[in-house]
Structure 1
Amino acid sequence: MTDLSLTELTIADARAKLRAREVSAVELTDAYLAAIDAANEKLNAYVAVTADKARQMAGASDARIAKGEAGALEGIPLGIKDLFATEGVHTQAASHILDGFKPRYESTVTANLWADGAVMLGKLNMDEFAMGSSNETSYYGPVVNPWRAEGSNADLVPGGSSGGSAAAVAAWLCAGATATDTGGSIRQPAAFTGTVGIKPTYGRCSRWGTVAFASSLDQAGPIARDVRDAAILLKSMASVDPKDTTSVDRPVPDYEAAVGQSIKGLKIGIPREYRVDGMPQEIEALWQKGVDWMRDAGAEIVEISLPHTKYALPAYYIVAPAEASSNLARYDGVRYGLRMTGKDITDMYEKTRAAGFGDEVKRRIMIGTYVLSAGYYDAYYLRAQKVRTLIKRDFEQVFEKGVDAILTPATPSAAFGVADQDMAADPVKMYLNDIFTVTVNMAGLPGIAVPAGLDARGLPLGLQLIGRPFDEETLFRTGHVIEQAAGRFSPKRWW
């Protein structure tokens, strides 16, 4: 097989070829390393490539396959978001303040992947500390979406914060990738790049060893080429972990077995509050198409109400920055990362943080510090937490009425341009990209984004399915129906 066709294999197909000894893990890894070498200068998806480590891991995989001891992901080359601690390897959350940091420990999620035989290709670019919806806040510069509008050479954003993960998967620079989702950071980039991304239920994957943004909202998940691959990855990533007390001690199902199961008789909710003012006609039409696909597959469609949805975005942008201001207080230049010299320790703190954090991170730290300050805590943070409880209750009431999953758009538009002036001038406009996704994080629910069509300019659009707590299996079942009806989408190579 050629290098090109090797990198275009799904995880499921690559797994079959590896086990049948039709291709070796070293060959597969070398094909991906060559693809990264050829494309990364243009796409900026990787901030560190671990070629030697990848070849060493692939060699060990080949040895295990030869002995009949292959793990669930044996020999599969993956990209790792720069938020996950990887022992002895660049881990900087795409921030200047963590300059040179190489942890002496491994995150639980990546340790699970390596235990199942996966191969690490390198660390993927992202919005700094996962704060962004376009992957333009990275210290290493913006990631470029492998998709381009028809007849245009303009660079587009891949979405954020997991933009490097989504772009690398879409451009065949890894077989799959780890990502994290605090307010839509898996699902929005997946929708912008024609890939599949699932944010599992809060507590399904351990957060230990993952750089924290907002601890009550952050959750790890995979970005993959199709629904089956996402199911395969999540099975390996998920686990209980004594080092993370928010991880849940319940068995991890065989998610792949759910792919292809009938959805006949399932009740799919359509929330009226997600029909927002000014929503583009093509998003509305795509949503209706998704409804028709569900109905044609035997599901029952019911209209539902989630009345507190309109408060989700403002409440999120109080809770998340508040937790960020607390979590990011640890970056002070004392023990690791960047250190600026100062006349005393306070001056050193101030200069280090001023030089180390980018503008968006500073903005959110300041918002968070403000809403937690004396005199404003009750008015903002406490009230936002009460709203969060109401949002969670809306979903509970819908699920109590027998709804199995909820179908919504994933994003309010297709990918927009890098350095888009409207977005740069108005941070709130950027925050509105998360309008369909933040409720899922506020309620701790699972959500999946699946490619569902192309817009008038030939750019991918996604639909989102929201599930009951720990019922990711239903999302893989329903997501597969959309995938089968819509087909798969790939960008035309220009890089």
Structure 2
Amino acid sequence: MSELSKLTISGAREKLRAKEITAVELTQSCLDAAAGADALNAYCAHTPDIAIEQAKAADARIGAGDAPDMCGIPLGIKDLFCTKGVKSQAASNILDGFKPEYESTITTKLWDSGAVMLGKLNMDEFAMGSSNETSAYGPAINPWRREGSDTKLTPGGSSGGSAAAVAADLCLAATGTDTGGSIRQPAAFVGITGVKPTYGRCSRWGVIAFASSLDQAGPMTKDVRDAAIMLETMAGYDAKDSTSANLPVPNFESMLTGDIKGKKIGIPNEYRIDGMPAEIEKLWADGADMLRDAGAEIVDVSLPHTKYALPAYYVLAPAEASSNLARYDGVRYGKRATLQSGEGINEMYERTRAEGFGDEVKRRVMIGAYVLSAGFYDAYYRRAQRVRTLIKKDFDDVYATGVDAILTPATPSAAFGIGEMKNEDPIKMYLNDVFTVTVNMAGLPGVSVPTGTDANGLPLGLQLIGRPWEEGDMLNIAYRLEQSAGFVSKPNKWW
């Protein structure tokens, strides 16, 4: 039964419904795999008792013929999602010991469909990072290694634990969140599929906020079909989230025909950045050829304000973060600093936040407070908002010409080593998001699909950017790309 954790969602669904396996057996296989993978540091909390209880309930539903697609499927949940009675810390010391009395809307939807919670997954603190190195739990480790090397690699961030767990078969799939690329970049680094839905497609209620106008939850899965299955369960209107879209959720899986004849795929000139590695350039060109061979029309498009996206993002996201993180003050929940004699409430606030937040979070809170301050609001924040509007218009103009999706690289490189960027200028780390932040700024759907490997045998991914609310069409193009690329490589087990 140890091989069961290697199943896809669709493969497990088939076996569960045929009564070839039980949800309990499947769950136990994943629990065993997770328990033996401490070296990856992907899980920050294990919930075996909850998992077995949910698996038994799933088996009862399957036996009664009441089995939704996700019924009996064991999942890992990013530590950003509030889970009732289970610690939800956003990988931050400031939320040490916090156990919510409520369940996020997305996890509620998953549990209502019969899915199983294996535990909580590691991440960058408050989702601020591209390498999972800002986590209070320490970095998650990529299950992939460079050929002939024992160097520990990052699984990307902020959803690094989710990426590592799915790639290493410690769960069948995982939830992630994406504020500037935090689903798509780690998915590319570990050779899995990651979907960032249209802003408003999935509820943000009960997901600990980083930047509220950019955050969006999505699935991280072993292939595109699994992503379609899981996204349908996660998506939908939620009255508790004022930004949730009241739109019907299609059956995304039924749209995976692989037929993309006549589809128009845009290649943005502005994504050909200086210093792009030749292997990324080749991967991109090969991906375009695959789609062309499948009957799609490849056209050059222009997104002229792309070069302003990263600086505008790193004004807007920290501004929203500084506002969202003001609530962590040590008064009501989480960490409270021990006061010295004679100190009062102001000292308690200061000491709690100084001790509770990590360096990267402090950096972004200070940047955010600065750009929102009276003398700089117009110069930075308001200007960045104008740039965001122009970026959105760029995409609108391209889609108005009949383009169905845009193809780009997912990342500027393969996974890098833990600590390799630690002491460098933080701007170099931020550049990992160069291909992904525009999608969040414009509120569009995006998907990362593994399509090849680099010279060291590490996975590389391509990104498809879809039209608003047309995740199904985007996923069908991704499905065709996945079929054409034929990426089936898995990391060699060393952990």
Partner of 1:472: 471
1:419-457 deviation digits (Å, cap 9, x = unpaired)? 11x443210000000000000000000000000100000
Kept after mapping to 2: 8 A contact 1:423/1:429:
no
Specify the code of the residue in structure 1 equivalent to 2:387: V
Distance 2:19 2:187 in 1: 32
Is 2:274 aligned against 1:277?
A: yes
Q: Distance in 1 between matches of 2:289 and 2:261?
A: 13
Pair 1:86 & 2:83 matched: yes
Which of 64, 67, 73 is residue 67 of structure 1 equivalent to? 64
Query: Does structure 2 retain, via aligned residues, the 8 Å contact 1:71–1:115?
Result: no
Aligned residue identity for 1:440: V
Deviations 1:27-80 (A, max 9, x none): 0000000001111x1000000000000000001111111111112211000000
Q: Tell me the residue number matched to 2:29.
A: 31
Q: Deviations over 1:109-165 (max 9, x none)?
A: 000001111000000000000000000000000000000000011100000000000
CA contact (8 A) 2:404 2:467 kept: yes
Q: Deviations over 1:357-406 (max 9, x none)?
A: 00000000000000000110000000000000000000000000000000
1:389 aligns with 2:386: no
Unaligned 5+ runs, structure 2: none
Within 2, Cα distance between the matches of 1:147 and 1:260? 31
Question: What pairs with 1:450-461 in structure 2 (closer than 5 Å)?
Answer: 450-461=449-460
Letter of the aligned partner of 1:377 in structure 2? Y
Matched, 1:177 2:162: no
The residue correspondences of 1:225-240 to structure 2 (distance < 5 A) are: 225-240=222-237
Partner of 1:402: 402
* Counterpart-to-counterpart distance in 2, 1:81 and 1:260: 31
Report what 2:9 is aligned to. Answer: 11
Equivalent residue, structure 1, for 2:493: 493
Matched, 1:111 2:100: no
2:51 is aligned with 1:54: yes
Gaps of 5+ in 1: none
SS at match of 1:425: coil
Partner residue, 1:371: 371
Find the aligned partners of 2:280 and 2:326 in 1 and give their Cα distance.
40
Which one of the candidate residues 276, 279, 295 is aligned to 1:298?
295
Measured in 1, the distance between the counterparts of 2:352 and 2:186 equals 31
Report whether the alignment pairs 1:255 with 2:252: yes
CA distance in 2 between counterparts of 1:151 and 1:381 reads: 47
Q: Which residue of 2 aligns with 1:242?
A: 239
| 8 A contact 2:258–2:480 mirrored in 1 | no
Give runs of aligned pairs for residues 286-435 of structure 1, distance below 5 A. 286-342=283-339, 343-420=343-420, 422-435=421-434
What's the C-alpha RMSD, in Å, of the aligned pairs? 0.7
TM-score by length of 2: 0.99
For residues 136 and 177 of structure 1, the distance between their equivalents in structure 2, rounded to whole angstroms, comes to 19
Q: Give the 3-state SS of the residue equivalent to 2:298 in structure 1.
A: strand
Q: CA deviation at 1:482?
A: 1.5
What is the CA distance between 1:260 and its match in structure 2? 2.8
Q: Distance in 1 between matches of 2:8 and 2:255?
A: 18
CA offset digits 1:180-208 (Å, max 9, x no partner) = 00000000000000000000000000000
Equivalent-residue separation in structure 1 for 2:269 and 2:469 (angstroms): 24
Q: Is contact 1:167-1:193 (8 Å) kept?
A: yes
Could you list the per-position Cα deviations for residues 321-373 of structure 1 after superposition, in whole angstroms to 9, with x for gaps in the alignment? 00000000000000000001231000000000000000000000000000000
Deviates more, 1:340-349 or 1:439-448: 340-349
| Counterparts of 1:61 and 1:353, CA distance in 2 | 42
2:481 equivalent in structure 1 = 482
Which piece of structure 1 moves more, 322-331 or 470-479?
470-479
TM-score, with length taken from structure 1: 0.99
Residue pairs, 1:94-173, within 5 angstroms:
94-173=91-170
| 1:303 match: secondary structure | strand
Q: C-alpha displacement at 1:481, in angstroms?
A: 1.4
**Is the CA contact (8 Å cut-off) linking 1:79 and 1:123 kept in structure 2?**
yes
Q: Which amino acid aligns with 2:71?
A: E
Distance in 1 (CA, whole Å) between partners of 2:474 and 2:459 is 20
- For the 8 Å contact 1:125–1:140, the answer to whether it is kept is yes
The answer on 1:436 being equivalent to 2:435 is: yes
Structure 1 counterpart of 2:25, which letter? Answer: E
Contact 2:256 2:476 in 1 (8 A): yes
CA distance in 2, matches of 1:425, 1:275: 24
CA contact (8 A) 2:33 2:170 kept: yes
The alignment-based identity, stated in percent, is 69
Distance in 1 between the 2:251 and 2:174 partners?
19
